[in-house]
Structure formats: structure tokens, C-alpha cells
Amino acid sequence: MDLVTLNDDVLRQIFSYFHGENALKLSLTCRRVHDLAIERVAAVILCQNGRDLRLAHRYMFFGARPRIQYLESLTVEEHVYEADKDVCEAILARLPPPEGCGADWNLIRLVLDLLMNAPRLRRVKLGLWRSIVEQDARVAYALFALPSLTTAYFENIDDRMV
């Protein structure tokens, strides 16, 4: 039996185990597989720094068919909000600490944009939850509005946040 002779539902179930580069390679095999597998390319995002978040945001919303509709898992580590340490250290060596050299809270709007536009998002992990909500409470409301959310992990949370 040839793989492409299976019906679309079975193929989608099989393809659900592919992510990122593997899904992309699979989608390049033929047109029918492409149409079913391409959505798996952008199903999982892991942001470990601000650059990752900016690139992921641009990738999700760029193009005629935005990929944000396929996002299923979003992880934003706490280090994402740290300002560029090399720049800060160079400035600190000569001057008193400049304002904003500890965290770049402008990146929260990118997280908010991803949350508000990802209807299939099932899993979210956010570092520095308390600080994020203190900076922009809309992030919490965006999470509550996600129709498919099944799992949420938060770091830096206390009793007042629950």
C-alpha cells in the first residue's frame, strides 16, 4: 500500500507527529502531501531570546496565508525579555545603569499578538508571568479567550495571581 493512497484524515493523523524541518521535508514530496503537511511546519514555537520571538512573530504573520492559524504550542522563556546584555554591559562600563537595561517589555506586544491570533493554540508556556501581567493585563485576557487551550504553564507566579 502506498502512503498517498490513504485518506486525508488518516494522513493528517500521521502528519500530526511531524514538526518544523521534518514537516517541511515531508511537505516537499508531492502536492497532495504538501497541502496536508505544510500546516505542521509552524505548529510549535520555542522562543529563548528576544531575537527568536521577533523572528517567530514575523514568520507567523508574513505571506499571503499567515501561518499563525497553525500554531499549536508556544513557549516563551523568561530570558526573552532580557535586554541585549552586550550592549548593556558596554554602557554600564562607562555610565550609570540606563533605564530599560534590565528588560525589554516591548516584546510583550508580540506575545499578545501571537496569543490573540492563534485559534489552534493548545499549549502555552510563559516565563515571568507575574511581570508580564503587571506590564500588560491583556495577555491574561487573551489566554482566557483561546478556544483550544488545554495546557498552560506559568513561571514566576504567586498567590495573588491565581
Annotate 98-126 with DSSP letters as a single string: PTTSS--GGGHHHHHHHHHT-TT--EEEE
Residue 91 has pLDDT above 80, yes or no: no
The three grid cell numbers given for residue 90, joined into one nine-digit string = 558596554
The three grid cell numbers given for residue 36, joined into one nine-digit string = 496536508
Residue 132 has pLDDT above 80, yes or no: yes
The three grid cell numbers given for residue 17, joined into one nine-digit string = 507527529
The reported pLDDT for the residue numbered 149 is: 95
Task: Report pLDDT digits (tens) over 135-160.
Answer: 899 999 999 999 999 999 998 776 66
- Taking residues 119-129, report their average pLDDT: 92
Task: Report pLDDT digits (tens) over 39-63.
Answer: 777 788 999 999 999 999 998 998 7
Alpha-carbon distance 38 to 45, whole Å?
15
SS3 129: helix
- Taking residues 128-134, report their average pLDDT: 88
Instruction: Judge contact between 121 and 74, C-beta under 8 A.
Output: yes
Residue 71 has pLDDT above 50, yes or no: yes
The reported pLDDT for the residue numbered 160 is: 65
